[in-house]
Structure 1
Amino acid sequence: MTTATLEIKEVETQSLTQHEAVVNIQLSDAEIQRRVDSIKSTWTAADRRERRIEAGERFHHLMEALFAGAA
Structure 2
Amino acid sequence: MEHRTRTVAQNEQCTVLQCSCGMLHVSVGSVTVRMRPAAAAGLRDAVAAALQKIEADDPSRGVPRPASRGDDLPS
TM-score category, normalised to shorter length: 0.3 to 0.5
TM-score scaled by length of structure 1: 0.40
Q: Which has the higher helix share?
A: 1
Higher relative contact order (CA 8 A, sep 6+): 1
TM-score scaled by length of structure 2: 0.38
The structure having more radius of gyration, on CA atoms, is 2
